[in-house]
Amino acid sequence: LPALAVWCAASIGWSGLPDRSWDYANRTILYGLFAAVGLWAAGRTRALANGLAILLGAVIVWSLLGKVLPFFYDYSGPDVTRLRGPIGLWNQLAVLGAFALPLALWRRRLAGTLLAYGWIVALLLTYSRGGILTALAAVAAWLALTDERVEGAATLVAAAVPGGVVVAVAFALPGVTSDGQSSHIRWRDGLIFGLLLLAGGAAAVVLERLPRPRVPALRRGPLAAALLLAGAAVLFV
């Protein structure tokens, strides 16, 4: 890749389209840099996954705080009800959830459960159908390919049950999920939503600490195929 980049750059001297040659040189340099990062990261996947989980945890805390404390993110203009801070677009925020949920199921325990809980709430509040379907497909693929699917499924249930309840109640709070609300209503309902988030997080922790069910070992192949087919069906509906 570095040699190809040098060749593309040198070809500017005789190229009939030197601007295109320079574009190709820049693109090849970028490919080379990404390849170098990949080689550097090859032996550090666990540390990188943990770092990404921490980063996505910070994003979701900031995002949900925008609904609890209105000054954290200015929800004005059209579609103010859709959760989109701090990214700026609800679909992009939902796509981050598709990355976060498999990481949360991999982490499991307290940290993974809270990460999954926060992102499940956020995904539902983005109203992003494509983002939610992509997240479902990612979770299905992870459960199909891991050997720890029982623990991962338990973490998912512990996060999804209180998360669903919190979002259901949020739809009854116009300051959180309705347009055209005054600052007073947004503050009032935002603080109520914040208390709901804390209560839901506490419930997720309690559910996570319940004993895991004991199930016999399942054949990996058929289960993986079934879950992957289900994920693909969900994604392309």
Over the stretch 113-131, which tens digit does the pLDDT of each residue have?
999 999 999 999 988 888 8
Nearest to 118 by CA among 167, 82, 151: 167
Instruction: List, in order, residues 6 or more apart from 1 with CB less than 8 Å away.
Output: 28, 31, 32, 35
The answer to whether residue 29 scores a pLDDT higher than 90 is yes
pLDDT of residue 80: 61
pLDDT of residue 31: 93
* Residues 82, 125 contacting (CB under 8 angstroms): yes
pLDDT of residue 215: 56
pLDDT band (50, 70, 90) for residue 101: very high
Q: Which two tokens stand for residue 110?
A: 């307290």
Higher per-residue confidence, 231 vs 166: 166
pLDDT of residue 235: 41
Reported as a single tens digit per residue, the pLDDT across 143-162 is 888 887 788 888 888 899 99
- Cis before 86 (ω within 30): yes
- Could you please report the per-residue DSSP string of 64-122? HHHHHSGGGS---STTTTS--TTTT-HHHHHHHHHHHHHHHHHH-HHHHHHHHHHHHHH
Query: Tokens 């796509």 map to which residue?
Result: 95
